[in-house]
Amino acid sequence: MKKYFAAAGGLALALATTNAAQAVDRSSWTRPTEPFRIVDNIYYVGAEGLAAYLITAGKEAILLDGTLEENAPMIKRNIAKLGFKMSDVKTIITSHAHNDHVGAVAQLKRDSGAKLYASAGDRGALEEGLHGGQTDYPRGRFPAVKVDRVLMNGDIVSLGDTRMTATMTPGHTPGCTTWSTQAMVDGQALDVVFPCSTTVAGNILVGNKRYPAIIEDFRKSFGRLAAMEADVVLTYHPTKRTLQAMKGKLKEGGPLALVDRQQLGKMTAATKAAFEAELTKALEKKR
């Protein structure tokens, strides 16, 4: 059995993909922040309010998400500050095809020459540059980008000794992808999980003509996430406060200070309860 330092005291919850994506000041989504090392070969290269992660393999790297289209120069600068060239980015992977997470991917792909690997469920949205599904807000648009490899549940993306496993957790989008990998700290292997959002966030749950399987997909995803183990949880909508908290914990206790093995389960239970409440409201409204 693994032995760890004390749990991170709710840090992952603070970084969680809850409705904070709608509650925060969206100006933080384009506000620059300095890149930093999180654990082992995993680095933060995103904006203050939108995460992008660089997972390195020697002198090469995988980029997870690109954030908004206008953030492409910022992401490139952050990668350079870590000592990498854009040509070192060999693979780009995505969490889900919403403009705040993949808007810059087309530009970053062109500038790096990287291959884009993405889920079958989100391929159409990525290549059309248009949010999939049916929502209660106008469909978001972003620069279309060609998918070079289509991923299915359980597929592994490898670069050198680095392996990223794709677990399909659809609902938020048809191809929402939870990524996981292992990071070594003081000879211990930590399971690091980047959970895709499981919030409803404006999705039409009842009568969704463009996404008729949305209810079944959400419930399938809650089951898959509940079955996963995570020592460190990294998500996509941080705030200035939560980034500062993460940096503080890293400075004081190192990467092991981020360990909280209960956090993914708590997040999943919270978003599942919120989903069921919204579904109940939607069904009552249809009666």
pLDDT in tens, 15-49: 443 333 345 568 999 999 999 999 999 999 999 99
Q: Which of 100, 118, 119, 98 is nearest to 109 (CA)?
A: 118
- Indicate the angle between helix axes 105-112 and 72-81, nearest 10 degrees: 50
Residue 127: which region, alpha, beta or left (left: phi > 0; alpha: psi -120 to 50)? alpha
Tokens at residue 148, please? Answer: 């070079």
Using DSSP bridges, classify how beta strands 36-39 and 42-44 pair: parallel, antiparallel or unpaired.
antiparallel
Q: What is the pLDDT of residue 10?
A: 38
Percentage of the chain surpassing pLDDT 70?
A: 91
Q: Which residues constitute the domain of residue 185?
A: 11-286
Q: Specify the residue for token string 């999939």.
A: 132
Could you tell me if 49 and 24 are in contact, meaning their C-beta atoms sit under 8 angstroms apart?
Answer: yes
Per DSSP, the three-state class of 121 is helix
Q: Is residue 275 pLDDT above 80, yes or no? A: yes
- The total of other beta-carbon atoms located within 10 Å of residue 104's CB is 30
Using DSSP bridges, classify how beta strands 115-119 and 149-151 pair: parallel, antiparallel or unpaired.
parallel
Structurally, the chain folds into a number of domains equal to 1
Q: Per the domain annotation, does 2 fall within a domain?
A: no
Percentage of the chain surpassing pLDDT 90?
A: 89
Q: Per the domain annotation, does 135 fall within a domain?
A: yes
CATH number at residue 113: 3.60.15.10
Q: Per the domain annotation, does 81 fall within a domain?
A: yes
Q: Per the domain annotation, does 24 fall within a domain?
A: yes
Q: Is residue 183 pLDDT above 90, yes or no? A: yes
Q: What is the mean pLDDT of residues 162-189?
A: 97
Q: What is the mean pLDDT of residues 48-54?
A: 97
- Give the DSSP letter of residue 29: G
Q: What is the pLDDT of residue 23?
A: 52
Q: Per the domain annotation, does 4 fall within a domain?
A: no
- Indicate the angle between helix axes 263-286 and 214-226, nearest 10 degrees: 160
Could you tell me if 45 and 75 are in contact, meaning their C-beta atoms sit under 8 angstroms apart?
Answer: yes
Q: What is the pLDDT of residue 286?
A: 80
